[in-house]
A and B are shown apart, each in its own frame.
Chain A
């Protein structure tokens, strides 16, 4: 198979309908008329803006992991837990499945998503295209499906309420950083991959 050289056409991933590529203003959304799926999200941000968000995400990621999420006080016995502490403790308690799922969905994949975004965006912002662009985009695609910080935030609320009658609980710096990370990762996840690919194609030629 070869490139069909139909750069003005695009296809809906969900129903295979063919469209002429829309020319919209930034921030607009193109939907398939046949099945209603999103065809293309016109990027509100330029590459520089996306890169800035990615950098912010990495900084916040470091803070979220370095500081405790919550501090707990049970009848005078005190403790604080970081994300890593949570993963390690559940592993030692024998909850291997829980530890592995937590490790991948809250640490490995979010970090991979941010690093992959940095790897593809930085050269693009400088007007170049990295030789590993394809690999970077593939990692980005995989990682964004499996990083779930927003679900974890809800999990923290449920856990705190469940412990409410037993212990005194105070949020730590890590929790606020995690909340910020949730927002930043959602934005990084919303980058339109088709747009990035088209941009990278222009940059090379």
Chain B
């Protein structure tokens, strides 16, 4: 079934409340008469914003993984620096392989796949790909759904720092890596919010 699309009928749906409005094509900025949100046929500067947030998160991804996310100090043991990957390996060696897998997925797999997926989606719009529209729309929805799970490591560090501060006996202090990692999570969330999935289907309808 080929569905009729709103822009072909000169209609704009408000993304905030769903009200259908008539597109008057006068180039001026309009707001939804029902809820007052700005009306856009497509998200403004969608691709440029997506690429900008993606690039920023890619750059910060390096310090997020290279710099330590925390330092631990224990009685008679001195201080130790821990990176994100190092923390996962420790969990694995401590026998919690199940949690190690969960943290690996949330902290390593999800951010990388999310950046890759958004790059593929944006590239597809640039190139005007018309195949596998449904699959690519589904990919976008997955990116939206799983994105915030990467915040896991930020919470773990916050909890460890807050719980273990017995000076002299045991102490956990935060490292610079975790700030970079938190920024990566937020920036990739901004990137996926900037991307407009309707652009995928615009290429599809132009070519028949």
Residues of A with Cβ closer than 8 Å to B? 1-4, 6-7, 9-19, 32-37, 70, 72, 74-75, 77, 79, 81, 85-87, 89-90, 93-99, 101-102, 105-106, 134, 137-138, 141, 145-146, 148, 151-152, 154-159, 161-167, 169, 193-194, 197, 201
Contact = CB atoms under 8 A, between A and B. Distances in A.
Interface in B1-53: 1, 3-7, 9, 11-13, 15-24, 30, 33-37, 39
A34 B3 contact: yes
10 A-B pairs closest in CB distance: A155-B155, A95-B174, A17-B3, A97-B179, A11-B13, A35-B137, A159-B159, A86-B162, A89-B162, A1-B30
Nearest to B171: A93
Contact of A158 (B103, B138, B151): B103
Interface in B91-143: 91, 94, 96, 99, 102-103, 106, 133-134, 137-138, 140-141
A81 B21 contact: no
B178 to A, nearest CB: 6
Main secondary structure of the interface of B (DSSP, over half): helix
B89 interface: no
A95 B179 contact: yes
Contact of B21 (A3, A89, A166): A3
B163 A159 contact: yes
A133 B154 CA distance: 34
B17 A161 contact: no
B161 A134 contact: no
Contacts of A194: 17-18
Given A18-B6, A87-B158, 17 more contacts: A1-B12, A3-B22, A11-B6, A17-B5, A18-B5, A34-B133, A35-B133, A35-B197, A93-B161, A95-B161, A95-B178, A97-B182, A137-B35, A151-B152, A155-B154, A194-B17, A197-B34
A155 to B, nearest CB: 3
Interface residues of B, number: 77
B198 A6 contact: no
Contacts of B59: none
Interface string B48-83: 000000000000000000000000001000000000
B182 A101 contact: yes
Contacts of A163: 160, 163-164
Given A15-B198, A194-B18, A201-B34, A154 B102 contact: yes
B99 A16 contact: no
